[in-house]
Amino acid sequence: CNVDNKVSRVAWLNRTTILFTGNEKWSLDPRVVLLNTAVTEYSIKILNVNLYDEGPYVCSILTNKKP
C-alpha cells in the first residue's frame, strides 16, 4: 500500500479481521508482521504461510478524513 502526506490513517484487513491500524498490531497471530520498508509504503508480511491464510487482504486508507 503506497501512502503520501495526504493519508491521515491506514490499516490492513483480512476478510473481517483488522491486522494492523497504523503501527498498532491488532492480530493475535505472531506470524503477521508490519514491514517498514519506506516512509511511503505500508506493507505486511505473513511468515510460514498456509492454506488458512488464503483470501483477500485490503489496505484501507483515510485521506483528508475520507475513506
Tens-of-pLDDT digits for all 67 residues of the chain?
888 888 888 899 998 799 999 889 999 999 999 997 677 888 999 999 999 999 999 998 888 766 6
Written in H, E and C, the secondary structure of 1-24 is CECCCCEEEEEEEECCEEEEECCE
Look at residue 49 in the predicted model and tell me its pLDDT: 96
Look at residue 32 in the predicted model and tell me its pLDDT: 95
**Contact assessment for residue 45 and residue 35, using Cβ atoms and an 8 Å cutoff:** yes
Which of 14, 9, 12, 20 is CA-nearest to residue 67? 9
Look at residue 27 in the predicted model and tell me its pLDDT: 93
Q: With the C-alpha atoms ordered 21, 22, 28, 29, is the resulting torsion angle positive or negative?
A: positive
